[in-house]
Structure 1
Amino acid sequence: MSMPPSFAMALALGTLGGALFTWIGMPLSWMLGAMTATGLAAIMALPVKGFVKARPPMSAVIGAMLGSQFGPHTLESAATWWPALLGLAAYLVVAAGICIFYLRKVARLDGPTAFFSAMPGGLVDMVLLGAERGGDERTIALMHSARIFLVVLGLPPVMMLATGADPVARAADWRPLTSMGMMDVIFLLGAIAVGTGLGKLLRLPAPFLIGPMLVSSLLHWSGTSGFAVPSAIIAAAQVVLGTTVGCRFAGISRRFVLRILAISAGSTALLLLVAVVFSFALHAVVDVPVAGMLLAFSPGGLAEMSLVALALKIEVSFVVVSHMVRIGLVILAAGLLSKRYSPTA
């Protein structure tokens, strides 16, 4: 299927936004620029729209890129991560509890809508579970879209204020396309093809992302391949991902989008504040920099936060594993606890 004109326009705007943010020296420029440009275009009711078939192949590329960050050293490091993963479970309980209270008492959302909007898990899973429990699907979907949008947008200044780390200075060095040999390209494409099939066969969550990541990780763990993805491909992945996030606000009334953004700004600020507190507390017992801990606990999407970690060269394997655990815990807890919520709660 050919690319719809509405998405082609969105992608063009996203690329221009990314180029502009890169030119002025913004951190995470390609993702933030694309997300901001398309988000503004959607709010202004310009003819932009997401394309459901654009994300899966890009997720597969991102998964293969993330897998390249897992090596023999990862297993040794992972043995020391268990206090952080236990802390992650505590963080989810505290952060979700605070957000539910905020969304119920301040934003005046109904019980199931507030519950599933507060859960920092996957958008699709929370929308489906929320609909089963009588929640407002549109509000839940927009709340999660707004959360990811605001986390990616607000993370660089929060990181600078809380940890002193400069996202611009930490940006990965530019790796040219010529750095990949023919065998590297073959292994990259093979990891994407085999991983995508494996992800579907095993019915993994986020199969297009996690499947290629597992195959790529195995290639790097075993020493079969050491391919590293060029910076241009990482930039392209950021543009597509940022564009799809921004386009989630398309086709919805400006007033409703702005209301959701305002509500989500409050809940996102609470989530990030709790993440900062837990990051500093756990840094004392886990040998991971505070910046890496903050990325691992930030309530953004798995693909978005992992790509941020990759772009900034900050504890990529730890961040990826933490967000995979977060999504699993949230889906499990949401399914078990949501039964107490009803549309009249």
Structure 2
Amino acid sequence: MRETAAGLLIGAAGGLVFWLLGIPAPWLAGSMMAAIIAIFSQVKIGMPDWLRALSFIFLGIQTGTSVTWETVERAAQWPLSIAFLGLTVIAVTWACTAYYVKRSGWDGATALFASLPGALSLVLLLASGTRADMRRVTIAQCIRLFFLVAALPSLISWMSPDSAFHAGPDEIGSLSDLVLLVSVSTAAGFALERIRVPAGLMLGPMLASAGLELSGLLAGAAPASVLIPANVVLGVMIGSRFQGFTFREFREALAEGFSGFLIALAIAMAGAGVASAFSGLPFALTLLAFSPGGLDAMTIMAFALNLDPAYVGAHQMARYIGLALLMPMATAYVLRRMGAHANVTSGPMPSKLEDR
């Protein structure tokens, strides 16, 4: 409890500082930075599973209630965009793997798992069954997400035209409607989690709240104030990934991690540019949807930047589910071709959303 309280207080303080400074996505980026500083200052922080689950559920609710019939009409443009996203994921993985092998001298297994964009819990599970260096894989993945959360909001805010902004529905005014929304969405989340649907804790509330909104049973979104705690929880969770690493290890890994981040971002920008040209959607919106970060981090960033969370969430969800379903077979095949295979399992996948 002390570690949880310390993490929340430190994260909230960091978010407040970033908010006062006017930095984009302050509660997410600020809480992450504060948590990392605390960790390397030998402060122990924690985040219990129930609090993580609660943040995923509310993020799913917020995303689902942003869906309108206008969103459904625009969704006709999404399949082609999601197809470009799939090609971008393959390109990011290939380019980063080649960089780590040829420039950094890493073995094939370590380079491959350090390069896969997102689905960190599954990446670590699969990597543990190979010869991959788990510390390098973990810190490379964490540093890429660190730079995405730290730099992407400012980059998108700088390039965003007014046409990219998304006006969400008004907040729900009735307490009974709010209770109905949270109850149905939470039940849907745990139902999908129980049957081991990838990202079920977020996907269930997203689908349930969108259904309630489109059916006319409810009108409006959950109070925006719930996003601030969700931002803080997520930022502390990202920062807590660096526990167990020394500051020296972090400093030495920064160069390689930053190089991987730049490669991934450049390819994501190219894919987002193509998708924007074909779909007519704003580049800032497609860039956030194509960015190789976590499902939860990128979706919550859409709210912070006033971009369409339904579009971003749908693309990040498609990427996450695609990786969860295809990664075991794809990585086993690639590692066999590279001669780095060592008992890669294709067994049950983790059901909890830990895509950070």
What is the TM-score when the length of structure 1 is the normalising length?
A: 0.90
Instruction: Tell which deviates more after alignment, 145-154 or 252-261.
Output: 252-261
1:341 corresponds to 2:335: yes
Deviation at 1:149, TM superposition (A): 1.8
Counterpart residue identity of residue 24, structure 1: L
1:25 aligned residue = 22
1:11 corresponds to 2:8: yes
Task: Please give the secondary structure, in 2, of the residue aligned with 1:229.
Answer: coil
* Selected match of 1:73 from 70, 74, 93: 70
Instruction: Tell which deviates more after alignment, 227-236 or 135-144.
Output: 135-144
Counterpart residue identity of residue 114, structure 1: A
Counterpart residue identity of residue 60, structure 1: I
1:158 corresponds to 2:155: yes
Deviation at 1:204, TM superposition (A): 1.1
Task: Please give the secondary structure, in 2, of the residue aligned with 1:313.
Answer: coil
* Selected match of 2:322 from 304, 307, 329: 329
Instruction: Tell which deviates more after alignment, 26-35 or 310-319.
Output: 310-319
After superposition, what is the alpha-carbon deviation per residue over 1:144-196, rounded to whole angstroms, capped at 9, x for unaligned? 222222111110233245x3459xx96979988xx632123212321332122
How far apart are the structure 2 equivalents of 1:15 and 1:173?
Answer: 25
How far apart are the structure 1 equivalents of 2:38 and 2:161?
Answer: 31
2:103 aligned residue = 106
1:250 aligned residue = 243
2:349 aligned residue = none
* Selected match of 2:201 from 187, 205, 208: 208
Instruction: Tell which deviates more after alignment, 237-246 or 74-83.
Output: 74-83
8 Å contact from structure 1 (residues 39, 247) kept in 2: yes
After superposition, what is the alpha-carbon deviation per residue over 1:50-84, rounded to whole angstroms, capped at 9, x for unaligned? 43432111111111111111222232211121221
How far apart are the structure 1 equivalents of 2:226 and 2:94?
Answer: 39
2:124 aligned residue = 127
How far apart are the structure 2 equivalents of 1:152 and 1:210?
Answer: 22
How far apart are the structure 2 equivalents of 1:273 and 1:208?
Answer: 31
* Selected match of 2:299 from 294, 301, 306: 306
How far apart are the structure 1 equivalents of 2:327 and 2:181?
Answer: 36
1:197 corresponds to 2:194: no
1:84 corresponds to 2:77: no
Task: Please give the secondary structure, in 2, of the residue aligned with 1:81.
Answer: helix
Deviation at 1:328, TM superposition (A): 2.5
Task: Please give the secondary structure, in 1, of the residue aligned with 2:9.
Answer: helix
Task: Please give the secondary structure, in 1, of the residue aligned with 2:128.
Answer: helix
* Selected match of 1:39 from 36, 40, 45: 36
* Selected match of 1:262 from 247, 255, 262: 255
Counterpart residue identity of residue 173, structure 2: M
Counterpart residue identity of residue 338, structure 1: T
Deviation at 1:248, TM superposition (A): 1.4
- Root-mean-square deviation (Å): 2.4
2:343 aligned residue = none
2:60 aligned residue = 63
How far apart are the structure 1 equivalents of 2:253 and 2:46?
Answer: 19
How far apart are the structure 2 equivalents of 1:255 and 1:112?
Answer: 24
Instruction: Tell which deviates more after alignment, 233-242 or 39-48.
Output: 39-48
1:292 corresponds to 2:285: yes
1:185 aligned residue = 178
8 Å contact from structure 1 (residues 198, 211) kept in 2: yes
Structure 1 stretches lacking a partner, 5+ long? none
8 Å contact from structure 2 (residues 66, 168) kept in 1: no
How far apart are the structure 2 equivalents of 1:175 and 1:147?
Answer: 35
* Selected match of 2:267 from 269, 274, 280: 274
Deviation at 1:127, TM superposition (A): 0.7
How far apart are the structure 1 equivalents of 2:36 and 2:4?
Answer: 13
1:53 corresponds to 2:50: yes
2:112 aligned residue = 115
Distance 1:22 1:174, change over 3 A: farther
Counterpart residue identity of residue 31, structure 2: A
1:145 corresponds to 2:138: no
How far apart are the structure 2 equivalents of 1:79 and 1:183?
Answer: 34
How far apart are the structure 1 equivalents of 2:193 and 2:325?
Answer: 20
After superposition, what is the alpha-carbon deviation per residue over 1:89-109, rounded to whole angstroms, capped at 9, x for unaligned? 111121111100111122332
How far apart are the structure 2 equivalents of 1:171 and 1:80?
Answer: 17
Counterpart residue identity of residue 341, structure 1: L
Deviation at 1:278, TM superposition (A): 1.7
Task: Please give the secondary structure, in 2, of the residue aligned with 1:249.
Answer: coil
How far apart are the structure 1 equivalents of 2:137 and 2:57?
Answer: 26
How far apart are the structure 1 equivalents of 2:251 and 2:339?
Answer: 26
What is the TM-score when the length of structure 2 is the normalising length?
A: 0.87
How far apart are the structure 1 equivalents of 2:42 and 2:91?
Answer: 37
